[in-house]
Chain A
């Protein structure tokens, strides 16, 4: 028994060490590192600000995606410029509703004045947000809103972006003289709102045309599995493939590269590999979101609201840049 206990303790401490190390660094407005989760506590009326600084938390879906890292960077930049923000970035290690709820609770317990939130899904966190609001915390959505009233939502209009992607593909096909054929879609899953909206927009662009969009293949954004799905589409004879996020797009690009590039690939998000594939001509374009804008403007909105001003715009479309060769 003793041996078992010892081993379990070892494993748990290793796990905590790893998780601790992998959490993103927190900086206060002076650029110094602070503790991961605040040890501030309780009963404080979060209507008052602590001293002169506003405590603002950014809670994203996970810590891995460069997308969130960029949001964080934007938020940090705004916080630095404003000078009156005590800023922290919290996120679970993996995208998971329960864990995100935990993060929100941690923020509330930590004495948040405002929360910038990229919600996993529309409903899971609404109860927790209600509690947050009860504490007087201002809520601003970045990237993905939840189904709960907030100060503002700054996001990519995913549906519009998806439509743009579709239009890019249509134009390119027309230029090649292709007016009909099969199109494939490789996306993440059926529960991530952003990617679902993008797919919807994409499909809308093809309404009334002679193109058939096949059953979507969901590969959880895994680049390797996405590539397999794309390769299968190519065997099926598709003329174009759409990728719903970074991983899907990387997979599509690699698949098109392997067979020589006749198929038109359009995707989402920006990364080194995707840019290279565009450069090499294997991807036509990618819809790069502007996560930095979300973070930057979102922080500004939050502080604005905390300073007592009313916010006029409910929704800010931070738009996409169409990146091509």
Chain B
């Protein structure tokens, strides 16, 4: 079956100030997994939103199963068999799995809901996907990865033939990724067409048949995966050859900045001890559930802890709340930037100013607007944040630029230690490099850099020292020269059996 089930031709879409799509052509076959690749802002999301009826195109044609579709809307898209699974989960947390699956298409008999039938049907789909959930569980009580499976089940329940998956693996453990890929392959073999959008280029190998690349709203190329290499793909995504993916710089290790002793906070942070020196980047590696984020939060004072002594430049600092940490010069760039890193409804300028109001206000607390503007301008310039106007809401920025704002607001402060938690998650390649450069700049200035990452390559690429965590403990400390993926993985799975059981809980 090599007919095209979706054909978008010469589709264009503009927003005020930005042409998101410029004459893009997109074709999807049945029975294939097509990777839609491109940096953030390349137009992938916009293209898929047009296909799924959320946006209306400015020009071009949409053909689904050979039929031309004039006016696409979400209801029509669903009828045609198009389902999109967004990166941000769209679940009603108060409702059950079955209720979410059938939301908007509830089965009724004479006007009354047929809950029994819906539970039954939901159970069928869930079983087909081999997931371990009950249809009557309240979605809010499920883990993020399980919620994602519910999203997929929901898509399937609409008899979708065309599945669009946006960053499906970003919140999954490696086992869950395997399960997901099994499902995807099964669906592909059954004739579904699957569009796979992801920044995790390394995953593509296991799942993708064909790739299509967009850059700056334009169609670049498409080809079979086997006919290309990762390097080639990346260079086409960014428009230039990226020879060195990780810009490592060499510096001498200076004096000790921070010492952490005896940090304990619940099950996920157990007896953590480590030091941080000037002129080095320390990466914290480990699998999901290892306790890395919890450790950074406990250190920063965002979560309560049972014990823990922190010394900055030799002096002990009492950290009970984030403010204590910030005052001591230890700042955190959190994992969930939308929830914890930014006030999305405030402007970019206000976000940058927020933790720095003490610098830019008068004694009475009046904010000096000129200083605020200057600070915002400098940060935008220094970090090359791409935006049209820093008065617009922070949520209007792409992921990478949002991340830069999160980091930028701390840099205005002359911090002593900057902790990054998954700094490059959901960010395009070029922006990633900019974040690495940023970390290097901090290293160069003698500011301590601690970062948590689930990307092995990234840890190996940019760290000088690596702390491997598993099950709440630091299982190994490695100098970069002695670190390999294998060793890291070995120590990241030191408490393997218990980890498995925990993931199920």
- Touching chains A and B, CB distance < 8 Å: no
Residues of A within 8 A of B (CB): none
